[in-house]
Structures are given as structure tokens and as C-alpha cells.
């Protein structure tokens, strides 16, 4: 007798390229959330930390599911190379995005720092 199928789950097959692209996209979003969280700390705004705390676990859960499926594939299977190649392309794009946004983040941090009166910025100045 076959076991009953759960109807609240989706099941699908991904090519190596699609799996790598999905993992790369998830890593991009997680990285962006981490940067936003850091920016929020720099600006004393916990909204981005809360967003990271809200979305991070779900995103990490999907990464774990895809990675778990990948673990079942032999290391020498050509699909592993396809996953790595596709992931690498998304990773390279993410790194370019970081460079583009780094200047903006640094400017925001400096503006926040410059907007703080010196007595608040340096507690030893009393």
C-alpha cells in the first residue's frame, strides 16, 4: 500500500544550472539582508535587523533543502560542476553589486557619524 502523499508540499526537479542559480540567488538575498542589517546598526535603526530575523530562517531552510538534495549526488557527477558554474555566475554578479552599493553604504555611515554632535560621538569629550 503506497504511503499517503502530503498535499501541502511542492516537489520539483532542478537541472544543475537551475539549482546553482537558485542557490546563488538565495545567497545574494541573504547577503543583501546581512548588509542591510549592518547598515541599520550603523544608523541605529533595528528595522533591517528585524527583517533579517524574519526572512533569514526561511531562506536558510530553502538553501538547506536544495543543499540536501545536492548531497545525494555523487561528487564526480557532471551536475555538480553545472551547479558550481551557475552559482559562480550569480556570485560574481553579487560581488559586483556589493561594490556598487559599498560607496553608498559608506556615505550613509559617514553622514550619520557627521550628523552626531561631537559630545555624543565621543563620550570622553566631557
Q: Rounded to two decimals, what is the model's pTM?
A: 0.75
Give 87 or 123, the one with higher predicted confidence: 87
Could you report the per-residue pLDDT of 91-119, keeping only the tens digit for each?
A: 999 999 998 887 777 777 788 778 876 65
Residue 65's pLDDT is what? 93
The SS3 call for residue 117 is: coil
Work out the mean pLDDT of the chain and round it to a whole number. 86
* pLDDT tier for residue 120 given thresholds of 50, 70 and 90: low
Q: Is residue 87 exposed (0-12), middle (13-18) or buried (19+ Cβ within 10 Å)?
A: buried
Amino acid at each position: 500500500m503506497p504511503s499517503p502523499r502530503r498535499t501541502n508540499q511542492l516537489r520539483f526537479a532542478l537541472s544543475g544550472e537551475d539549482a546553482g542559480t537558485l542557490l546563488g540567488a538565495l545567497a545574494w538575498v541573504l547577503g543583501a539582508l546581512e548588509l542591510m542589517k549592518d547598515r541599520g546598526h550603523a544608523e541605529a535603526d533595528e528595522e533591517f535587523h528585524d527583517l533579517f530575523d524574519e526572512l533569514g530562517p526561511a531562506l536558510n531552510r530553502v538553501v538547506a533543502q536544495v543543499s540536501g538534495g545536492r548531497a545525494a549526488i555523487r561528487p564526480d557527477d557532471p551536475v555538480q560542476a553545472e551547479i558550481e558554474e551557475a552559482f559562480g555566475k550569480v556570485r560574481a554578479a553579487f560581488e559586483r553589486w556589493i561594490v556598487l552599493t559599498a560607496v553608498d553604504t559608506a556615505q550613509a555611515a559617514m553622514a550619520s557619524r557627521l550628523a552626531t554632535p561631537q559630545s555624543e560621538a565621543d563620550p570622553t569629550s566631557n
